[in-house]
């Protein structure tokens, strides 16, 4: 699976949009971009995933560049409960090894008042 690079930490004011970047310059054509987050002392939580089109769900939006070498997770109105470590993961889906996720160090997002 391709390697990802994320900033170590970011701050965001409550109510503002949080934009979390991820670089995955070696991504292959059949690899998806997944985002998970881990709130302190809890298991990781799935947020969203995409292949090449932008995706949106009730939690967040995922913007993938046209060359697919980077992406941005957007939390449109961050709240204090969004404070967590966010992991950007690239994986080949539908390969039988999809459960073998490679977590990097992630971005620690701190949402403040």
Partner 1 sequence: KAGVTQTPRYLIKTRGQQVTLSCSPISGHRSVSWYQQTPGQGLQFLFEYFSETQRNKGNFPGRFSGRQFSNSRSEMNVSTLELGDSALYLCASSLGPDGELFFGEGSRLTVL
Residues forming the site for partner 1 (CB under 8 A) = 36, 41-46, 49, 87, 93-105
Output the smallest distance, CB 14 to partner 1, in A. 26
Whichever of 24 and 37 has its CB closer to partner 1, that residue is 37
CA–CA separation, 110 and 18 (whole Å): 10
Whichever of 29 and 96 has its CB closer to partner 1, that residue is 96
Query: Could you tell me which of 37, 44, 41 has the C-alpha nearest to residue 84?
Result: 37
Whichever of 49 and 52 has its CB closer to partner 1, that residue is 49
Locate 62 and state its tokens: 């995922």
Output the smallest distance, CB 64 to partner 1, in A. 18
CA–CA separation, 71 and 76 (whole Å): 15
Output the smallest distance, CB 99 to partner 1, in A. 4
CA–CA separation, 14 and 47 (whole Å): 19
């Amino acid at each position: 699976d391709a390697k990802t690079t994320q900033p170590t930490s970011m701050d965001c004011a409550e109510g503002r949009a949080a934009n979390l970047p991820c670089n995955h310059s070696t991504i292959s054509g059949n690899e998806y971009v997944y985002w998970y987050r881990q709130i302190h002392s809890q298991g990781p939580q799935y947020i969203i995933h995409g292949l090449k089109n932008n995706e949106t769900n009730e939690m967040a939006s995922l913007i993938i560049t046209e060359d697919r070498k980077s992406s941005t997770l957007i939390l449109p109105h961050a709240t204090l409960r969004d404070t967590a470590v966010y992991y950007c993961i690239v994986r080949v889906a539908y390969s039988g090894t999809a459960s073998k996720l490679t977590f990097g160090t992630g971005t620690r997002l701190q949402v403040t008042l």
